[in-house]
Amino acid sequence: MINMIQTCSAVPIYTEHRGIIDISKRWYNGKVISISFLDGSEKLQSKVLDIASIWTRYANLSFERIHRFGDIRITFKSGGSWSYVGTDSIGISKLEPTMQLGWLTEETPHDEFKRVVLHEFGHALGLLHEHQNPNGGIKWNIPKVMEYYRSSQGWSDEYIITNVLNLAPNSNYLIDKFDEKSIMLYPVSSELTLDGYSTTWNSDLSQGDVQLIQKMYPK
C-alpha cells in the first residue's frame, strides 16, 4: 500500500528506542538517494538540501542532487507540505512529485523551514507520525480533532483519520517508546485532548529520532 503523509560535530549514539518506522518501505542500507526539484529557486533548493542532509549524519545513506527523475522529486507549489513514505516514491510516475513543500518560501523563518524539511524527509526515509504511536496513549477528543483539521487545513475526514487518529499497526512496523520531542510529532493542543495533554512544535531531531534512524540504517 502506498502512503502519502502530510504535515515539519560528533555523531552521538543513543540507546533508548523511540518512534515508528515502516520497515517494509526503507531504502537499502548505504543507498545514494537521488533528489531532483520540479521548481523553486536555487536558494530555496539549496537550503532544503542543506537541512535534509542532517538525517545523513546519523543514517547510512547519502543524498545526490540530479537534474531530473530523482528517487525523491520535490515541488514548492502551494497547497501544503507532504511526502510519500520511503520507497513508495519508486512507484510514482517520474513526472510527478513525491514531496511537496508548499509552505516554504525564501522568507520562511529558519526554525519553521527546518521543521518542515526534517519532518517531510523523515517520511521520505520511512518514518511515520509519532502521534500515531500506539504507545503514546493520546486521548483525542475526536469531534474537536475533526473540526479543527477540517477548518484549519481543509482536510477530509478520511485524511484526518489516516494522518492523525489512526494508530500504526504492528505488522511491518518497528514501534518503540513514544517520543514527544520527535520531529515526526504534530503539536497536540490541550483543546483537542480529553485530559488536557499537549505538546509543542519540534524543529530539531530528538535523541529518539537519531537513535531510530541509526537503527534503521546502521553505519
Which helix (H) or strand (E) is 207 found in, with range?
A: helix 207-216
> How is the chain split into domains, by residue range?
15-214
CA 160 to CA 148: how far, in whole Å?
10
Provide the grid cell at 76. 514548492
β-strand partners of 127: 21
15-214 has which fold? Answer: Collagenase (Catalytic Domain) (3.40.390)
Return the pLDDT at 57.
Answer: 97
CA 120 to CA 124: how far, in whole Å?
6
Closest CA to 125 of 15, 16, 19, 22: 22
Return the pLDDT at 131.
Answer: 84
Return the pLDDT at 11.
Answer: 28
Return the pLDDT at 157.
Answer: 94
Return the pLDDT at 17.
Answer: 37
Return the pLDDT at 48.
Answer: 98
Return the pLDDT at 7.
Answer: 45
SS3 of residue 54 by DSSP: coil
Return the pLDDT at 14.
Answer: 26
Return the pLDDT at 84.
Answer: 95
Where the chain has pLDDT below 50, the residues are 1-2, 5-18
pLDDT tens digits for range 42-77: 999 999 999 999 999 999 999 999 999 999 999 999
Return the pLDDT at 172.
Answer: 57
Return the pLDDT at 19.
Answer: 60
